[in-house]
Amino acid sequence: MDLELQEFKAEFFKALAHPLRIQILELLRDGDKYVHELQEHMQVDSAVVSQQLAILRRKNIVIGIKEGNKVTYSVKDPAIYELLEVAKKVFNNHLVDTISLLKKMKNS
């Protein structure tokens, strides 16, 4: 596989590799939001929210549309939610396997 493509994929997943960025995406699932709306839900400083949005914007995961002196954020491609659902299934499978292994260890 092309190294450049692998690097692109790694950078994309790096952009998702933060709990606040995942939380932002989950909040945007319900529709477009302003920074202050995200901040209220997340209970962190608006500067922190803006910093995380900037990372998601640089990777074209979210887009911002300026409305006067405010910016509305939305997910650029709703397929990101399919990716998050698949990740949840993978995590669940991993946890099921781990629980099964722990039970075997406990019973041995």
98 — pLDDT class (breaks 50, 70, 90):
confident
pLDDT of residue 108: 77
Residue 89 CB: number of other CB atoms within 10 A? 9
Average of per-residue pLDDT values in the chain: 93
Q: State the average pLDDT over residues 50-56.
A: 97
The pLDDT tens digits for 9-20 are: 999 999 999 999
Query: Reduced to 3 states, what is the DSSP secondary structure of residue 16?
Result: helix
Query: How much is the pLDDT for 106?
Result: 83
Q: What is the tally of helices (H) and strands (E) in the chain?
A: 5, 3
Taking Cα atoms as reference points, which of 59, 58, 60, 53 lies closest to residue 23?
53
